[in-house]
Amino acid sequence: MNRDELVSFLNEYLNVSAYPDKSSNGLQVEGKEEVKRVAFAVDTTLRTIERAAKAGADMLVVHHGMIWGGLGYITGIHYKRLKALMESGINLYAAHLPLDAHPEVGNNVELLRLLGLEPKEPFGEYRGLSVGFWGSFDEPQPIENVAQVIAEKLDATVKTYEFGKREIKTVGAVSGAGAFALEEAWRRGIDLLITGEFGHADYLTAVDLPQSVLVAGHYKTETLGVKALMEVVKEKFDLDVFFIDEPTGL
């Protein structure tokens, strides 16, 4: 299919223009006009680009692109990545916050669905827009049970910080570096925040609130959106699609 047709669909479906994002969302690097095979990945790395090229991809759709608010000097790793894209003719399409916040295929609705929860309301305000969601169990669940489900379904190592409730009724999800939502979770009475990263200052905030947190890895919590989007593209356009897994362990 024509590249611009696919890009137009992605832009509209993900509502990329609605988000005040550090990422330059949309088509970041232009390549081949005809797209037959599309690779999906979390990150734009030299290895991801090379694997996409080796597999014959015409487009690479990622959560973390290579242009964040504009390019400076095209040297070092920026040069290597751009050179690899241009030599292979691969189009690079990025969707950062739009893929966190999407109500159908976003990272955060998908995290809740791992627990059998449907998102009730947006949650996790960032730059004036909510990028996460929260949901509720019918009956409270021990935090250990919640952690076990996430660990098994994400195939991830998870860690819980049981500073607040241990019997979990309400769950908020903000993938990746989502600890900025700690205070909002506490204010809104959300029993457990699920996120990907948890730093020293985040720990101290959670202790003092107090707020219970489940951390499942930045990478693992953000594989869900690109995989779900991949299935939408496959079904709508009958394109050959595949996921490139490059876990960081973080």
Rg (CA), the chain: 18
What's the confidence (pLDDT) of residue 109?
Answer: 98
The answer to whether 225 touches 102, Cβ cutoff 8 Å, is yes
Q: Is residue 44 part of a domain?
A: yes
Sheet holding 240-243, edge to edge: 26-29, 91-94, 59-64, 37-43, 240-243
168 plus 114 within the same structural domain? yes
Q: Which of 213, 230, 177, 203 shows the shortest CA–CA distance to 61?
A: 230
Q: Which of 179, 191, 203 shows the shortest CA–CA distance to 136?
A: 191
138 plus 209 within the same structural domain? yes
205 plus 134 within the same structural domain? yes
Residues 73, 177: Cα–Cα separation, whole Å: 27
Note the pTM of the prediction, 2 decimals.
Answer: 0.96
- In tens digits, the chain (250 residues) has pLDDT values of 999 999 999 999 999 999 999 999 999 999 999 999 999 999 999 999 999 999 999 999 999 999 998 888 999 999 999 999 999 999 999 999 999 999 999 999 999 999 999 999 999 999 999 999 999 999 999 999 999 999 999 999 999 999 999 999 999 999 999 999 999 999 999 999 999 999 999 999 999 999 999 999 999 999 999 999 999 999 999 999 999 999 999 9
Q: Is residue 82 part of a domain?
A: yes
Where is the domain boundary, 41, 64, 95?
Answer: 95
Domain of residue 49, residue span:
3-95
Q: Is residue 239 part of a domain?
A: no
Instruction: List residues bridging with 7 in a β-sheet.
Output: none
Sheet holding 212-215, edge to edge: 121-126, 129-142, 167-173, 192-195, 212-215, 159-161
115 plus 210 within the same structural domain? yes
Bridge pairing between strands 159-161 and 212-215: antiparallel
Number of domains in the chain: 2
Report the CATH number at residue 14. Answer: 3.40.1390.30
66 plus 27 within the same structural domain? yes
Q: Is residue 169 part of a domain?
A: yes
Q: Is residue 181 part of a domain?
A: yes
Where is the domain boundary, 64, 95, 126?
Answer: 95
Measured between alpha carbons, how far apart are the two ends of the chain, in Å?
Answer: 36
Q: Is residue 161 part of a domain?
A: yes
Q: What is the largest CA-CA distance in the chain?
A: 55
78 plus 113 within the same structural domain? no
86 plus 166 within the same structural domain? no
Residues 112, 50: Cα–Cα separation, whole Å: 33
149 plus 204 within the same structural domain? yes
What's the confidence (pLDDT) of residue 72?
Answer: 83
What's the confidence (pLDDT) of residue 71?
Answer: 80
109 plus 195 within the same structural domain? yes
